[in-house]
């Protein structure tokens, strides 16, 4: 005769075990998805559970093993209890059909196993997994204390399991998971962002901005500097009128000062200091208003340069090569433009990169990049040359000198004619087919 109370108690126990299995599954998926950075806000608000979760992430492999151990224990108990429950429930039916006890026992095992497996997979595996994926932060923080308690109780056994597993991995040539590998790599983050762009969660502007941030520290001073031949600089012995003329015409707020040669930069003058001095003195002595110069190695990454600028509260630096020769200059604006794009202020003159004259000839701004030039004119000028990045630099490399006004340069069916030039700086180039 069936003991109803005993069967009901065992059924209740099965439901409880499936629920515990669900907690272990949800916790495992939640802690794997949780990142330390996501916990910082909760920690700053005083969440002690978030602190525990952060500590759990430092020993992620051990706590995953704890979850797996919990799931295994629960499944063993379900199999042990479930067999007796279903045999007890189905016994009257087996007796009615006069089935042998051996066959009845075997059949009850299969029926019970099928039911418990279905119930465990749906309620104890799939459902908590889906919930954990959506609410992993809340789950990992909420269940951090019970998980830590379970881990401490079974720590010796978990250590034995981990040691054994690591030994097996070592034998087959696989290294154990490191703390760094538990976090997303840059490529994984880029892929996540790309998926966000495709689904509309991240718009085009945000996507472009994030991509520039990722590429930011890969660039060096040499890649974004204003080249030496395009620098505006003042000779310390220059006369008052010429100095003021340079400042007014170029409109820069900070200008390098050199002595004898551009390779001997001795300081920086601020236009506001210069204008202030000119208002009160007929003779301007640059030595009185000159400020210290900050030199930057050409291979230094712009992320480090930005930190230096912030620390020293400066906006301009002179880029030098390994021999100490001046290669160019870099400003805070140049660095920020690598993230947000071109910044135009009220003194900048917007110029077209390419336009046509009345005869239909192409007039090109020499500052156009080689990549853009190749696309617009369907040419194949090498783009991966360290000696130049712009059309101006390319022409100087080809000729071996700074081209003179109206000088013609032939290159693979194209004729480049220098139309405008100031000092050593090319301003406009005419292009036609030869």
Q: Quick one: 137 and 99 in the same domain?
A: yes
In a domain, 346, yes or no: no
Q: Are residues 330 and 376 in the same domain?
A: no
The pLDDT of residue 371 is: 87
With 0-12 / 13-18 / 19 or more C-beta atoms within 10 angstroms meaning exposed / middle / buried, residue 1 is exposed
Residues 200 and 298 in one domain: no
Residue 265: strand pairing partners? 258
> Quick check: helix, strand or coil at residue 235?
strand
Q: Tell me how long the chain is.
A: 434
Query: Would you say residue 345 lies in a domain?
Result: no
For the domain that residue 271 is a member of, what is the CATH number?
3.10.580.10
Residue 325 in any domain: the answer is: yes
261 in the same domain as 233: yes
128, 136 contact by CB (below 8 A): no
Strands ordered across the beta sheet of 316-320: 226-227, 326-331, 316-320, 295-297
Q: Is residue 92 domain-shared with residue 34, that is, in the same domain? A: yes
Q: How far apart are the first and last CA of the chain?
A: 107
Asked if residue 40 and residue 177 are part of one domain, the reply reads: yes
Helix 60-96 and helix 4-33, axial crossing angle in degrees, nearest 10:
150
Q: For residue 390, is it within any domain?
A: yes
pTM of structure: 0.49
- The whole-angstrom distance between residue 109's C-alpha and the CA centroid of its chain comes to 54
pLDDT tens, residue by residue, 327-363: 999 999 888 888 776 555 544 544 567 887 666 678 8
Q: Do 175 and 36 sit in the same domain of this protein?
A: yes
In a domain, 349, yes or no: no
Q: What per-residue confidence (pLDDT) applies to 349?
A: 47
Q: For residues 13 and 94, state if they share a domain.
A: yes
Domain-ending residue, one of 166, 198, 216:
216
Q: Give per-residue pLDDT as tens, 15-72.
A: 899 999 999 999 999 999 888 888 988 999 889 999 999 999 988 888 999 999 999 9
Query: Is the same domain home to 204 and 331?
Result: no
- Would 373 be classed as within a structural domain? yes
Residue 347 in any domain: the answer is: no
CB-based burial, 97-106: b 16+ in 10 Å, e otherwise = eebeeeebee
Total domains in the fold of the chain: 4
Distance of CA 95 to the CA centre of its chain: 69
Q: Are residues 60 and 206 in the same domain?
A: no
The answer to whether residue 76 sits within a structural domain is: yes
Residue with tokens 């906006």: 315
Residues 6+ apart with CB under 8 A from 325: 263
Q: Which domain holds residue 80?
A: 4-181
Q: Please say whether the beta carbons of 60 and 20 come within 8 A.
A: no
Considering the domain architecture, whether residues 42 and 158 belong to the same structural domain is answered as yes
Domain boundary among 181, 200, 234: 181
CATH of the domain at 377: 3.30.465.10
Closest CA to 26 of 116, 144, 118, 119: 144
User: Low-confidence residues of the chain, pLDDT below 70?
Assistant: 1-4, 7, 82-109, 111-112, 175-186, 277-286, 341-352, 357-360, 434
User: In this structure, are 169 and 32 located in the same domain?
Assistant: yes
């Amino acid at each position: 005769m069936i003991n109803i109370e005993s069967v009901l108690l065992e059924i209740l126990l099965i439901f409880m075990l499936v629920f515990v299995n669900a907690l272990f599954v949800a916790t495992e998926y939640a802690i794997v998805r949780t990142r330390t950075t996501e916990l910082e806000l909760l920690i700053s608000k005083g969440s002690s559970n978030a602190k525990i979760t952060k500590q759990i992430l430092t020993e992620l492999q051990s706590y995953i093993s704890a979850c797996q151990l919990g799931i295994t224990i629960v499944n063993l108990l379900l199999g042990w209890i479930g067999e007796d429950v279903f045999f007890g429930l189905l016994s009257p039916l087996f007796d009615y059909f006069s089935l042998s006890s051996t066959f009845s026992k075997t059949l009850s095992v299969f029926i019970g196993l099928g039911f418990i497996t279905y119930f465990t997979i749906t309620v104890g595996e799939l459902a908590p997994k889906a919930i954990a994926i959506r609410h992993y932060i809340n789950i990992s923080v909420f269940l951090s204390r019970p998980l830590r308690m379970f881990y401490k109780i079974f720590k010796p056994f978990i250590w034995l399991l981990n040691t054994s597993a690591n030994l097996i991995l070592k034998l087959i040539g696989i290294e154990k998971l490191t703390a760094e590998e538990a976090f997303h790599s840059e490529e994984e983050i880029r892929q996540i962002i790309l998926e966000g762009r495709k689904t509309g969660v991240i718009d085009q502007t945000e996507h472009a901005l994030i991509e520039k941030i990722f590429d930011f520290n890969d660039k060096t001073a040499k890649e974004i500097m204003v080249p030496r031949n395009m620098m505006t600089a003042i000779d310390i012995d220059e006369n008052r009128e010429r100095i003021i003329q340079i400042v007014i015409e170029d409109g820069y707020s900070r200008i390098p000062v050199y002595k004898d040669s551009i390779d001997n930069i001795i300081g920086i003058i601020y236009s506001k200091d210069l204008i202030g001095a000119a208002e009160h003195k007929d003779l301007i002595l640059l030595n009185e208003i000159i400020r210290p110069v900050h030199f930057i190695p050409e291979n230094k990454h712009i992320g480090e340069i930005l930190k230096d600028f912030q620390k020293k509260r400066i906006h301009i630096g002179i880029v030098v090569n390994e021999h100490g020769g001046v290669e160019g200059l870099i400003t805070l604006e140049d660095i920020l433009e690598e993230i947000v794009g071109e910044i135009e202020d009220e003194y900048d003159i917007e110029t077209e990169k390419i336009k046509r004259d009345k005869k239909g000839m192409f007039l090109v701004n020499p500052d156009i990049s080689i990549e853009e030039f190749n696309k617009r004119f369907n040419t194949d000028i090498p783009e991966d040359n360290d000696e130049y990045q712009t059309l101006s630099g390319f022409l100087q490399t080809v000729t071996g000198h700074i081209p003179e006004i109206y000088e013609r340069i032939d290159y693979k069916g194209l004729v480049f004619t220098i139309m405008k030039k100031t000092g050593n700086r090319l301003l406009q180039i005419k292009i036609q087919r030869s």
